[in-house]
Amino acid sequence: MKKANILLVGIIILNLFSCETNSEDPQDLMAPEIDHADSGDEISPENGDVFTETMDHIPVSFSVEDPSGIGQVKVNVHANFDGHSHARVLSDFQKLSIDDIYAVDASDQNFQFPANSTRVNVNSTATDIYWSGANSRLSAPVLAGKYDFSISATDIHGNQTSFADGSSYLATIHIRTPYSPSISINNLDDDELIGTKGQPLTVTGEISKTSHELSAPLAFVWIKLGEEEDDDHDHDAHNARISNEEHVYDKMWGNSQWLSEGQGPDLPNDQTINLATLLTGEDAIILPATGEHLDLTIRAEDVNGNFTEKTFHVDMD
């Protein structure tokens, strides 16, 4: 009986010691931190970046840090043509769709990092994302339009970054090509349109099919005027996405491949549309009687689904 009591006391002491030791063990519940690479001041690409007709890739540059150790980093690119529609696309073109996994045992050595790494720095041409040329990720010409670029990370304990709290990185970028619709305005003053409150806004220029061999007839045009977008959004949140629900002008022509509600009267021409002629009469843009600055956004799609979107600042006096 005495031996049993001694054994019981020993078990209790051992359990108490174990509990005390475990309570002092630090518990890592923090997700990794995503930030700019050592050689830069911003993550690349940035939200709103436009890749013009002469460009062929997305420069990828960022860092991930976690004191416990990094388990995996994922870079994703997918089309955001309407908020993720799945419209049929002609086989002549291909959406840019990327899932690059960075890990100790990544299948591609360019995405590998040493075991027990607490910081991963990505800034190499080998990890850039090409849509044309010798290093292209695609087997067909890229479908022009807007894409979401994101970075998420997990540490060795399974703690994950999240889009909900902004710890994952999200940016919307725009890929333009020589064959996507052309949008030009020729009455800009210091890159702005000038208008008078309460009066029609004069817009001269055109939307057109280009001369490129892959260019196709126009299928859809959307023109809207609303509050000026805030370009100085919080970059630290990484998750900034501009949303503008209220427009003083919002009209569509033709039929969109991507927008579920993208339809309107027939386009006046599927090769070239004169904006001064289009925006007259009942379709004229009448500026509000109050306010100082607005944004005019023009989106044009061709019959293959390639689209171009441009935003022009409007200064009202």
Phi, psi dihedrals of residue 237, rounded to the nearest 5°: -75, -20
Report the alpha-carbon distance of residue 33 to residue 42 in Å, rounded: 14
pLDDT of residue 233: 39
pLDDT of residue 87: 54
Q: Do domains 33-175 and 182-316 have the same CATH topology?
A: yes
pLDDT of residue 89: 60
| Domain extents in the chain | 33-175, 182-316
pLDDT of residue 216: 96
Range 182-316 classified under CATH 2.60.40? yes
E strands present in the chain = 33-35, 50-51, 57-58, 61-65, 70-79, 98-103, 119-123, 129-130, 145-155, 169-175, 182-185, 192-195, 205-208, 218-227, 247-254, 272-274, 293-302, 307-316
pLDDT of residue 234: 43
Hey, is 136 helix, strand or coil?
strand
Report the alpha-carbon distance of residue 194 to residue 313 in Å, rounded: 9
Query: Which two three-digit tokens encode residue 24?
Result: 């002092």
Reading across the β-sheet that carries 247-254, which strands appear in turn? 192-195, 307-316, 293-302, 218-227, 247-254
Range 33-175 classified under CATH 1.10.275? no
pLDDT of residue 247: 87
pLDDT of residue 26: 57
The pLDDT profile of the chain, 317 residues, written as one tens digit per residue, is 444 455 444 544 445 445 444 444 457 779 999 999 998 899 999 999 999 999 999 999 999 999 999 999 999 999 988 644 545 566 689 999 999 999 999 999 999 999 999 999 999 999 999 999 999 999 999 999 999 999 999 999 999 999 999 999 999 999 999 999 999 999 999 999 999 999 999 999 999 999 999 999 999 999 999 987 654 434 343 433 334 457 899 999 999 989 988 999 999 999 999 999 999 999 999 999 988 899 999 999 999 999 999 999 999 98
Q: Residue 112: what residue type? A: Q
